[in-house]
Amino acid sequence: MWMAAVVSAVVVTGCSKGNDKPALPAVDQASSAMGVKAIAPATELNANITRVTGSVRSKHEATLGPQATGTIAKMNVKVGDKVKKGQVLAQLDASNVAIGVEQARAVKMAADAGLQLATNNLERTRKVADAGGVAASGLDQAEIAAKQAQAQAAQAAAALRMAEENLRDHSIIAPFDGIITSRTKNVGDSVAMTPSTPVFTIVDTTGLEVRALVPESVVDKVKLGTKTQGTVSPSGMRFEVQVATVGAVVDTTNRTVEVLADVVGETASPLRPGSLVELDFSGAGETDDKGLFLPAQAVSANGQQGFVWVVQDGTVRKRDVRVERVLPGYVRVLQGLAAEERVLADASLNVKEGTAVRVVQ
């Protein structure tokens, strides 16, 4: 009993000491920390960054209409036909114009005959004048008659050319080799020269290019002569293009630059103008796509020298780094950061050395 009393006293004494400073629950430090977004450096550039959408189009495409007003008398082609440069696609009723050509041709023949007669008469007059048998005035008259005949012949020739040109204007002619992609009129339809009535659309499918609106954050990677791969959507067919034109201005509405790239080489199947395609510029130029990459917003830099905020044990630590710009919006970390470390996605946040943070994404 005496021993039990001693033990009981010891226990009571110990409890009494504990009640002097009662144990409190630990304070949740994370609840008061700043919520931040932290990212790890990428070991290669994301291909989506340098992938743009465009469309295939023909370098030569034309909407053809008549050069005269009249009625279509003959259609020589239909949609889908392949045509050659200079081929007559359609003819307007030109019966009256054809008569005019015949009349102009007859007038020219008469003028040519008159010129021949005047020229022969001038030659004979000169021979006689050289022998002293014709007065000077007679020679002058012969020379003037020859010049008048020559002018009349030239005028008749010009009238004939005009009549023939008018006759040609009653034909719609292919300006280059291509395929007829649309026909809006038929035999018997009336067409006008002004404004010109569209009758055919012709497309040259052998000379194709891709037109793409490239974001200004990527366009610096696109150089003249750059070759890259394209993919047709949705078939997935691959083809190759070579950059032919890079626009000189940025569209202020969507912040893009127009890029035109020629389709080169063979394709598994014919490319069709109007097809949607995707161009991949991730391998273009001389940029090495391997290393440690961060969005430029994650680095506070002046030239190659800068710093990042590294997240360590719930706080941020300032870390000096050396970087180089590889694309607008992206930098490569050359020194000062490891691949497994995480940094604040926005280096401009109002933090300082040791600031407690809570990663929310």
Residue 143's contacts (CB-CB under 8 Å, 6 or more residues apart) are 122
Is 232 a residue whose pLDDT tops 80? yes
**Can you give the pLDDT at residue 102?**
95
Mean pLDDT within 204-228? 86
Q: How confident is the model at residue 8 (pLDDT cuts 50, 70, 90)?
A: very low
Kindly report, residue by residue over 244-288, the tens digit of the pLDDT.
999 999 998 888 899 999 999 888 888 888 999 999 877 655 455
> Going by C-beta distance under 8 Å and a sequence separation of 6 or more, which residues neighbour residue 20?
none
* CATH code for the part of the protein at 60-93+170-204: 2.40.50.100
CATH class of 49-59+205-280: mainly beta
Fold match between domain 36-45+288-359 and domain 49-59+205-280: no
pTM given for the model? 0.56
In this structure, which topology does domain 95-168 adopt according to CATH? Helix Hairpins (1.10.287)
Query: Going by C-beta distance under 8 Å and a sequence separation of 6 or more, which residues neighbour residue 237?
Result: 231, 267, 268, 269
Residue 289 banded pLDDT, cuts 50, 70, 90: low
**CA angle 357-316-344, nearest 5°?**
80
Per DSSP, the three-state class of 157 is helix
Taking residues 321-338, report their average pLDDT.
85
Please report which confidence band the pLDDT of residue 311 belongs to, taking 50, 70 and 90 as the band edges.
Answer: very high
**Tokens in use for 56?**
């295939």
Q: CA separation (Å) from 23 to 17, 27, 32, 51, 149?
A: 12, 12, 22, 60, 130
Residue 161 host element (H or E): helix 136-168
Q: Tell which wins on pLDDT, 175 or 5.
A: 175
What does the block give as tokens for 107? 């007038």
Domain boundaries, the chain: 36-45+288-359, 49-59+205-280, 60-93+170-204, 95-168
Q: What is the mean pLDDT of the chain?
A: 85
CATH number of 36-45+288-359: 2.40.420.20
